[in-house]
Amino acid sequence: MKLKLPIIVIMNLVVISGMFSQSLPAYQLFTGKGKKLKYAQLLKRTAGKDLVLFGEEHNNPIAHWLQLRLTRDCSKQQPLVLGAEMIERDNQDELEAYLQGTITAKQLDSTARLWSNYKTDYAPLVNFAKQNKIPFIGTNIPRRFASLVAKNGFEALDTLSDLEKSWIAPLPVKYDAELPGYKNMLTIMAGHGGPNLPKAQAIKDATMAHFILQNLNPETLFIHYHGSYHSENYEGILWYLLQEKPQLKYLTIATVSQTSLQRLDPGNLGKADVILAVDADMTKTY
C-alpha cells in the first residue's frame, strides 16, 4: 500500500532536510580582486616565494588555525624559517633556548615577555618549529622602545646603548609620513598621540622588516606572522622590505571579519594578495 503524506508534512520535511544540509562556512579565501580561492590554490601560490607575510586579527582563532595548517603544508614543499611580531628581539635568546630544549615552556613563559594569548595562539607554531628543527625568529622591537618613539619621536632612540640598538632597525630609520596607512592612524585616533604615533608603528614595521631580511635564505621560505595592519595594502613591513630588496618574491595575506562570506566586502578589496575573510560571529580567543 502506497503511503500518502499530507502536503504540509512534506513541506516540513523539505524545510528540515534543508536546515540539516545547509553549509555554514566559518571562513572564505579570496584573491585581492575578490575572486573566491580554494586552500589548495593558496598553498600553490606560496611555491617559489621568498616570503609569506601572514597578517592576522590577533584574537581570531581561524587565522591562527590557518597559520598552523599553512605552515605545516609549506614545510612539506620546501625548508622554512618562521618569524613573528609576537616575540621581541631582546627575547630571542630565551626563545632559542626553548627551541634547543635547554629550557622548558614554563621557563620560557617566566623569562620572556609572551603575549597573554601565547599558549593558545602562538605556542602551536613555536612547538611545530621546535619539533621540526625550524628556525623561529622574534622580529619585533622591544615595546618599551616603541613607546619611547610614541612619546618623543625617532630621536629618542639615539639614547639607546649599542646593545639596545642591536634589537631594532638600523638608525636613522626611513619614514614616509604620507603613506596612507600611517596617515590613517592619525584619522582613526582623531589626533590623539600626535605625529609620533605613526612613527611608533613605523619603527615596528622597520624592525620586523630588518630581521626578516637578515634571515632570508635561498631556497627557503620565510613565513612571518603579524597583525594585518602591518602589511595591509602592501605598506608597513612590505614597504620597508622593498626599500632594501625590490626583487623580493612575496605573498601577502590579510585577515578580515565580515557578516557575509558570499563575496568580499568592497572595503576589503586589494588589502593583500590573498584575503582570509572570517564570519564576524566567530568566537574570539580573548
Residue 16 is predicted with a pLDDT of: 43
Residues 173-201, mean pLDDT to the nearest whole number: 89
Residue 186 is predicted with a pLDDT of: 87
What mean pLDDT is reported for the chain?
93
13 band by pLDDT with thresholds 50, 70 and 90: very low
CA dihedral sign, ordered 120, 122, 128, 133 = negative
Distance CA(281)–CA(257), nearest Å, equals 9
4 band by pLDDT with thresholds 50, 70 and 90: low
Residues 204-217, mean pLDDT to the nearest whole number: 98
Residue 76 is predicted with a pLDDT of: 97
CATH code for the domain defined by 27-279 = 3.40.50.11550
pTM for this model (two decimals): 0.91
Distance CA(126)–CA(178), nearest Å, equals 36
Measure Cα distances from 218 to 15, 73, 213 in Å: 56, 19, 12
List pLDDT tens digits, range 47-92: 999 999 999 999 999 999 999 999 999 999 999 999 999 999 999 9
Helix (H), strand (E) counts: the chain: 11, 8
Compute CA 238 distance to the chain's CA centroid, rounded to the nearest angstrom.
12
Cell of 276: 582570509
Domain spans of the chain, in order of start: 27-279
